[in-house]
Amino acid sequence: MPSQTRHACLVTGCAGFVGSHLTDSLLAMGYPVVGVDIRPRNEAHNLSGAFGNPLFHYLERDITHHEVLASASALCGDIRYIFHLAAVVMVAFSMEHPELTMATNYTATKALHEEAVQAGAKAFLFAGSAAEYGDDPRLPLKEEYATDATIHNSPYGRSKYLSSSLMQNSGVGCSLRFFNIFGPRQDPSSPYSGVVSKFITQAVDGKDLTIFGDGGQTRDFIYVSDVVQSYLIAAGIVPAPSTGVAAPLSGIYNVGTGNSISVRELADQVVANTGKGSNVLFATPRAGDIYHSRADVSRFNSCTGFQAVVPFAEGLDRTISWMSEAQ
């Protein structure tokens, strides 16, 4: 299909870890993209490649300011695909700022979704989270386990659940509940950064690795390129592997690998793979963190045939290589 016939896409949170990878993939496929992010252009380092692409338009904007889609459409015309990743993503920050978290993660999502429906958007993809399940002990976690009665560990988890619920009965809305995403561009400098990037940075710097808790916590880690592929399939931009048909999904779907490893196992692998001889230390558990997490991925798999293809060990090696070169 010639690039000029591609419908335009909106990616909120485009300068972030996952958003920048998604933006790059859409541009590589010839889709015009309006990227919205709160970061000033000169701080959007993950978009260095996108800024040189004539199909890319950058809109510095707080998503709590309404009519985001209208502003984006003014730059790029008719936008048919909306990928909504912008959010307060830090659990600890959400504990300290619950009202801001709800305004950003739920109220702004509701407003953007309503805009998308009114504009006749083809697909609206929301970035859900495994935090929507709280500390549910039933593993693997099924989509229906998250309900209004779920006790969420943080305002982050609650706000994500409420926004996913908006997608449940919408013909133009799909929530992909991502489990623990890792890979290049994950910011290790943030005190709230993902545990993979945090451990790698500590090890590469020759420092000891710090685990908050006893290390028995388990996580379902999925590599960022698999996450991008799940977005493209759910939006109907690329065909579902099982059917060969490209059609947008609606509803709620877990996206993970269906496997988990403990945080202690992760730390040991990072130490071994970096060869730095770091020690593993233990600290007081952080408020709001869940203990066990593993996705039941059968719903998304049965609908699309999607399966994560990057093994954890390979993804970890790729991430270590990238972070070693970036320092």
Q: For the chain (length 327 residues), average pLDDT per consecutive 10?
A: 71 98 99 98 97 98 95 95 97 95 98 97 98 96 98 97 94 96 89 85 95 96 99 98 96 98 97 94 91 97 98 97 88
Task: Give pTM, 2 decimals.
Answer: 0.96
Q: Which fold has domain 87-182+222-258+293-310?
A: Rossmann fold (3.40.50)
3-state secondary structure the chain: CCHHHCCEEEEECCCCHHHHHHHHHHHHCCCCEEEEECCCHHHCHHHCCHHHCCCEEEEECCCCCCCHHHHHHHHHCCEEEEEECCCCCCHHHHHHCHHHHHHHHHHHHHHHHHHHHHCCCCEEEEEEEHHHHCCCCCCCECHHHCCCCCCCCCHHHHHHHHHHHHHHCCCCCEEEEECEEECCCCCCCCCCCCHHHHHHHHHHCCCCEEEECCCCCEECEEEHHHHHHHHHHHCCCCCCCCCCCCCCCCEEEEECCCCCEEHHHHHHHHHHHHCCCCCEEEECCCCCCCCCCCECCHHHHHHHCCCCCCCHHHHHHHHHHHHHHHC
Per domain, the residue ranges of the chain are 87-182+222-258+293-310
What's the pLDDT at 279? 97
The pLDDT value recorded for residue 312 is 97
- pLDDT at residue 299, as a whole number: 98
